[in-house]
Structure 1
Amino acid sequence: MPYRSGAYAFMQGARALLPLTPGVIPFGLVTGVMAIEMGLSPGMAMGMTILFYSGSAQMVALQLLHNGVLPVAIVVTALIINLRFIMYSASLAPHLHHLPRRWTWPLSYLLSDQSYALCTLKLSSGELGPFAHYFYAGTAVTMWLVWQVSVLAGVYLGASIPQDWSLSFAIPLSFLALLIPGLQSRASWCAAAVGGTLAVLAIKLPYNLGLVTASLGGVLAGLVVERLQASSNSASVEGAEGEAQ
């Protein structure tokens, strides 16, 4: 049933994102701690967090900065890591392209793995109705706020966080929580299996290219399986029609 108002859709989006925050907060804390350990001031750390708004790219950029890598190489590396957002944007575009720029530009900046995972299935089903972009905004704004506050807490509380808490262990768990609900077909299961396998095999590639390789491999595998299923279904229908005649 479509949502009855923009405000209601926004609040529902925010509520949908909240259960994912236990996996996001440790990631933000680790990022904040790492920024200070690398020698950044609190102001620089938060400025970088607002500018990047990408935990994986920010952590890699911090490591490269610490190692004295050229700025151009750092920018290129961050762009490579975030190539997955091009695929996300292409998937969301058919549902949001009609919006004016005052909507599309902020929503593009606020795009995250969590927001995309929560919204893509709902957008495809049409259940969000004319207020779909409000639901997306609710998830995106909530995610942005949680991330910024988490990094800020890591910046100022990092030294007092015990190392035996193993906060980094929560990072892959948060992404697993996003992945499992989306596995609803043979194509999606195949994409996840191929992408996961490639991610493990390509983990040692430089500049975090393993992530890009796994993403592209998973997408291609899913598309192949989807097309094979469509061809099989088409052949079955034609066979049934032939027998009926």
Structure 2
Amino acid sequence: MRRGGFWAGVASTAPVVPGAVAFGLVYGILARQAGLSLAATVIMSLLVFAGAAQFTAVGMWGQAGGPLIVLTTFIVNLRHLLMGASVAPHLRGQPGRWKSLLAFGLTDESYALAISRYLSGGGSREFFLGANLGLYVGWNLSTVVGAVLGGLVVDPGRWGIELVFPLTFLGLLMPLLVRPGTMVVALTSGAVAVTTAAWLPGKGNLVLAILVASGLGAALEGRWTRTQ
């Protein structure tokens, strides 16, 4: 394994780890307040490692049956299929153990970091792994702290951290807007997400926006390639 690429991947998470840590703290607090034990709260982060799904499960805890929670979190995580399909061409020829390891650690943030690196010609499996691991460690450590503080913080929403993730992803998006086609995809998918948020349940608007972005991006990429 090329250690330089791995540590570069870890270092690349520096701008996004603070956002993950903030949400990890809130997840730990809310999970304890919802009735999960300290062990269950921590184990969920260790094994699931999907913030949106974990927040969804915690929000439904005690109000819905297990099958409904599983189905809802599955829908929330459908975007991982699309992210995986997007990054898969860059992992052709890699051993199955590497693909499995990278798939487990795939998050919105690590995907953005890895795909940006691949598109610039400097991507590697080691970089991808480093990005995954940097976020994994930050998320789980903050989960532990939040779980311990669960009984001490009454209203974590007053911290105003709901702005952290949107600003983080805007920072990740901006370097990718290097071609007109990319800007068209970003603006279109954003418009779809906003206009459908009121009538699509759960995170359905995000799934639809991702599908639109994937289809439009593929069409524009093929057209752009043919004109070169």
Determine if the TM-score, normalized by the shorter chain, exceeds 0.5.
yes
Please tell me whether residue 176 in structure 1 is matched to residue 159 in structure 2: no
Alpha carbon RMSD of aligned pairs, Å?
2.1
Aligned-pair CA distance for 1:90: 1.4
- What are the equivalent positions in structure 2 for 1:28-177 lying under 5 Å apart? 28-67=24-63, 69-128=64-123, 132-158=124-150, 159-160=152-153, 163=156, 164-177=158-171
Larger Rg: 1
Q: Is the 8 A contact 2:185 2:216 kept in 1?
A: yes
Letter in 1 for 2:20: V
Equivalent position SS for 1:207? coil
Separation (CA, whole Å) in 2 of partners of 1:230 and 1:104? 27
Separation (CA, whole Å) in 1 of partners of 2:216 and 2:154? 42
Letter in 1 for 2:58: L
Equivalent position SS for 1:66? coil
Q: Is the 8 A contact 1:81 1:209 kept in 2?
A: yes
Letter in 1 for 2:42: M
TM-score (norm 2): 0.89
Please tell me whether residue 8 in structure 1 is matched to residue 4 in structure 2: yes
Letter in 2 for 1:84: R
Letter in 1 for 2:24: G
> Could you list the runs of 5+ residues in structure 2 that have no partner in the other structure?
none
Equivalent position SS for 1:78? helix
Number of equivalences: 225
Aligned-pair CA distance for 1:167: 2.2
Aligned-pair CA distance for 1:161: 7.9
Q: Is the 8 A contact 2:13 2:135 kept in 1?
A: yes
> Could you list the runs of 5+ residues in structure 1 that have no partner in the other structure?
235-245
Q: Is the 8 A contact 2:189 2:212 kept in 1?
A: yes
Partner of 1:242: none
Equivalent position SS for 1:48? helix
Q: Is the 8 A contact 1:46 1:152 kept in 2?
A: yes
Which of these residues, 3, 21, 26, is aligned with residue 22 of structure 2?
26
Q: Is the 8 A contact 1:28 1:148 kept in 2?
A: yes
Which of these residues, 189, 194, 203, is aligned with residue 188 of structure 2?
194
Moved more, 196-205 or 119-128: 119-128
TM-score (norm 1): 0.83
Structure 1 segments (4+ residues) deviating >4 Å:
160-163, 227-231
Q: Is the 8 A contact 1:26 1:168 kept in 2?
A: no
Letter in 1 for 2:76: I
